[in-house]
Amino acid sequence: MAQRTKMAASKSRAQVVDEKATVSLAEEYRYVLVDLKRIAILAVAMLGLLVVLALVLT
């Protein structure tokens, strides 16, 4: 009986560690997605500026 309790406790600890790892990965990827959106917006803005400059200068 005591052995089952220890096994159950160790399994639940492993699950808690996995959940913490998943949460921290989710938080990290949230920041990555925000950065990717910012980069995409800047790229579109720069491309638009280049097109406008090409039209104005020709």
Mean pLDDT by 10 residues, the chain (58 residues): 57 64 75 93 98 95
Domain holding 40, by residue range, is 1-58
Q: Note the pLDDT of residue 55.
A: 96
Q: Note the pLDDT of residue 47.
A: 98
Rounded distance, CA 54 to CA 50, Å? 6
Q: Note the pLDDT of residue 7.
A: 57
Rounded distance, CA 28 to CA 16, Å? 18
Number of domains in the chain: 1
Indicate yes or no: pTM above 0.75: no
